[in-house]
Amino acid sequence: MEFRLEFSTEAREVILLLNETDPKKCRKLQKILGLMETNLRHPSLKTHKYDSLSGPNAEEIFEAYVENRTPGAWRVFWYYGPGKSIITVLAITAHP
């Protein structure tokens, strides 16, 4: 199943900032976002439910990896919706 991605204002700002400050990391992020549109089960995403957060309407939040085994590795936090075949990217951030 293919999905269309929508982005919170915060997530959109992070993408713009990464594009200016770290183009290499931005390319990694773009690759991951592309995989999320076409194959959420791709092994490199390591997608799993993230219990510490919930969406604006109590949606289940999921986490996908941009990087792995890297200090400060980046993650994408997202949820299904608001409509069918849509994923909303809530946040893109470095993992503590």
Domains of the chain: 4-94 (3.30.2310.20)
Say how many C-beta atoms besides its own lie within 10 A of residue 12's C-beta. 13
Query: Is residue 9 very low, low, confident or very high in pLDDT (cuts 50, 70, 90)?
Result: very high
Instruction: Measure CA of the first residue to CA of the last residue in the chain; give whole Å.
Output: 32
Question: What mean pLDDT is predicted for residues 70-95?
Answer: 91
pTM of the model: 0.92
Span 11-59, pLDDT tens digits: 999 999 999 999 999 999 999 999 999 999 999 999 999 988 888 888 9
Query: Is residue 80 very low, low, confident or very high in pLDDT (cuts 50, 70, 90)?
Result: very high
